[in-house]
Amino acid sequence: MSAPANFNGKIPTIDVADTAMLLIDHQSGLFQTVADMPMTTLRANVIALAKAATLTGMPVITTASVPQGPNGPLIPEIHALAPHAKYVARKGQINAWDNPDFVDAVKATGKGTLIVAGTITSVCMAFPSISAVHEGYRVFAVIDASGTYSKMAQEVTLARVVQAGVVPIDTAAVLSELQQTWHRDDAQQWADAYTQVFPPYRLLIESYLKAQDVATQHEILDSDRA
């Protein structure tokens, strides 16, 4: 199978230096309509993406659909954990890409690759992702950091965006591809981000730290005996 046209024959991987993140319409009201995954899971995955963007220094652009209405405000964790994120107010456009200010903000990053997540998946994620591909961007759509009203809607949307040239991906894969290696000074912060995606990972970390503590105590006792 050949690579999508917008990847120009290259393997579709995420180059941190050439990537911006778009977090679209992750609003408290819209979250209440999500049925293809637990709302708490969706929220945790969005939080993990915001953390990863900050750890990499990646540009983040956010926007909301009529936040003063029933769709509600953006969840506060996004800008709390990615304080460098730029918020773009829309003027009623359903497709964020139809808002000139939003497109200008994306272009201003100078990046050619976009990580996109949005609620609702079939609209807020799909529409701008397809539009961005049409404009020549390489687009990775984070399916489990988007959410929609049924599993069927998720599956149909996934088929549609893939056909358009968008690459589907999950949150853990995004984190791993951005992190690249555990041999880095902020490895513990990356580990904390993974616990958002799969909470049992925190138990693994705690077990490891306890084992390290016990080993250190044994070394101290052995040294004292010597």
Alpha-carbon span 111 to 93, nearest angstrom:
23
pLDDT in tens, 115-144: 999 999 999 999 999 999 999 999 999 999
pLDDT in tens, 34-75: 999 999 999 999 999 999 999 999 999 999 999 999 999 999
Domain of 205 in residue numbering reads as: 187-225
> Which amino acid appears at position 67 of this protein?
P
Note the pLDDT of residue 5: 55
> Which amino acid appears at position 159 of this protein?
A
What number is the average pLDDT over the span 174-191?
A: 93
Q: Which residue among the candidates 46, 82, 114, 124 is catalytic per the annotation? A: 124
Query: Percent of the chain beyond pLDDT 70?
Result: 85
* pLDDT higher than threshold 90 for residue 210: no
Do 206 and 172 share a domain, yes or no?
no
Q: Is the pTM of this model over 0.85?
A: yes
Count helices and strands in the chain by DSSP H and E runs? 9, 6
Instruction: Look up 124 and say whether it is catalytic.
Output: yes
Do 38 and 149 share a domain, yes or no?
yes
Do 49 and 14 share a domain, yes or no?
yes
